[in-house]
Amino acid sequence: MKANNTLGLILFPAFDWAISPTHPEREERLLYTQDQLLEEGIEDIEGIHFFNPSVASAKDIDRVHFCYPSTKKLLTPSHFIAAGGVIRAFEAVLSGETDKSFALVRPPGHHAQRVVYGDRGFCIINTEAVGLAYARKKYGNMRVAIVDTDCHHGDGSQDIYWNDPDTLFISFHQDGRTLYPGTGAIEELGGPSAYGYNINIPLPPNTGDEGFQYVLEHVVLPILDEYNPDLIINSAGQDNHYTDPLTNMNFSAQGYANLNKLLNPDIAVLEGGYSIQGALPYVNTGIIAAMAGLDFSGVVEPDYHLGKWKQSSRITEQIKKISEDVLTIWQHKEALAERIFEGKSSVTRSRQVYYDTAGILESQTQEFITCPNCPGLDRIQSKNDRGASLIGITIPIRACPSCREKGYDLFEQTKSARGTKRYLQDLAHDKCIID
C-alpha cells in the first residue's frame, strides 16, 4: 500500500504518564489506538513515516505562555514531550520531509490560554500554539488556519490568537451552554486587530455526521477559501464521537475521516477524546488514512450501523441557521469591527478564568493597544485566588519598530509593581524576559 500524500506520524502514547491513575488522561489512553494502528500495518505503508517527538525547551513554551510561578515548575516531562511532538510535526511538513503530519501525543493543549496557573481541561500548555510559534520563528511568519474539531470549545487557542489576524481560528463544538468550558458563542469574534478571525460554531447536542459535513461544506471550507492560509491545522479532538463518555454528539470514524479528506489539513494534532476503546482506534486510523490519501471506506467501528446515529431534522434546521449566522458575520466583519473599535487606541476586556483541574480562579484584564501599521501590543494583568499576580506584555511577530519600542517601555514601567511576576514576549526578535 502506498500513500498518495506522504505523512509523518508522531505517535507518542507516553505509557508511563497519567494525570492520576483513574483520570481519563491516563497511561491506557492511546494503548488500543497503538494496537489498532500496528495491526492495520500502518508502519508498512509506503510514504508513512514514524518520528519520535522532540523535547520542547522552556523557551519554546515561553514564546506562547506566561507560566506562573515558572514553566519548569508547572510542567512535567510529558508536557515538554507533547509540545515537542507537535514541534516535530511542524518540522516534518515545513522542512519538506513529508507532505503532511499528525501528532498523536498526550496530554492535549487547546484549553491552555496565554496565562497559565495550572491545569485546565487536562491541558497546561497549548501544544499547537507552541509548535506554531516555533515554526513561525524558524520559517517566518505565515497565515495559518486552525480548525478545532474537538467537542469542547478550544478556549485556549481562542485566547492566544484573539488579536492575531494571521491566525484564523475556527472551532466547532458542542454548544457551550451544555458542555465545558462554557465559552464558544458565535459572538466571541476576536480583538480589534483580528475581529471576525475567531469563529465559533456552537452545535446542538446529538449532531451527527450529516451536521458536521454541512458545517464543513457551507461554512468552514468557503471561509478557508477566502482566507487562503499557508497552512491548515486540525485540532483533532475526537470526543464528538458517539461513544465518548464526556460529551453528547454522534460523530463517527467515517465522519472524522471524511472531514479530514475535505478539510485537507497539513498538520493534525490530537486533542481530547476519551472513548479510548470504542472510538480512538478507529477515528485515528480513519484520520491517518484520509490524510495519507488512502481508501478509508472500511474503517468503521464494530458497533457502527448506518442510520443509527442519524440526526433529527430539527437539529439539521438548527445547524443551518447557525451556519447562516456565522457566514453573515464573516461577510460583514470589517463593518462590524469599525462600528465597535472606531477611534479607539486601546481596547480592554476583563474576565475570570477557572482552572478546573487545578481548582484555581483567575481574574484577568487584557488591554490591546492598537496600531495602524501592525497588529499592536497586548498587555495582560492577572491575579488568582491564591494571591499570585502577573503582568505580561506581548510584542507580536509582525510588530512595527515603534510598537516594539513601546512594548519595552511598557515593560520598564511594570517594574514598580511589587510582588508581581513580569513577562515580556518579544516575538519580533524571539526574545522572552521573565522576572
- The site for another protein (CB under 8 A) is made up of 1, 11-17, 21-22, 24, 26-28, 31-32, 34-36, 38-44, 50-53, 55, 77-78, 81, 277, 281-282, 285, 289, 294-303
Whole-number Å distance between alpha carbons of 47 and 377:
43
Cβ proximity of 337 and 195 under 8 Å: yes
Name 387's Cβ contacts closer than 8 Å, sequence gap at least 6: none
Return the number of the residue (43 or 409) whose C-beta is nearest another protein: 43
For residue 5, which of 97, 100, 126, 118 has the smallest C-alpha distance? Answer: 100
Return the number of the residue (24 or 211) whose C-beta is nearest another protein: 24
Whole-number Å distance between alpha carbons of 182 and 273:
18
Return the number of the residue (213 or 277) whose C-beta is nearest another protein: 277
In the complex, what is the shortest distance from the CB of residue 127 to another protein, in angstroms, rounded to a whole number? 15
Omega before 21 cis (within 30°)?
no
Q: How many other C-beta atoms are found inside a 10 Å radius of the C-beta of residue 418?
A: 6
Residue 67 phi/psi, 5-degree rounding, is: -90, 125
Return the number of the residue (126 or 252) whose C-beta is nearest another protein: 252
For residue 19, which of 114, 124, 103 has the smallest C-alpha distance? Answer: 124
Whole-number Å distance between alpha carbons of 12 and 328:
41
Question: Which of 65, 110, 111, 241 is flagged as catalytic?
Answer: 111
In the complex, what is the shortest distance from the CB of residue 83 to another protein, in angstroms, rounded to a whole number? 13
Q: Is 65 part of the annotated catalytic residue set?
A: no
In the complex, what is the shortest distance from the CB of residue 308 to another protein, in angstroms, rounded to a whole number? 15
In the complex, what is the shortest distance from the CB of residue 55 to another protein, in angstroms, rounded to a whole number? 7
Return the number of the residue (22 or 228) whose C-beta is nearest another protein: 22
In the complex, what is the shortest distance from the CB of residue 94 to another protein, in angstroms, rounded to a whole number? 19
What's the grid cell of residue 149? Answer: 474539531
Beta bridge partners, 50, equal 9
Whole-number Å distance between alpha carbons of 336 and 334:
5
Q: Which residues are catalytic?
A: 111
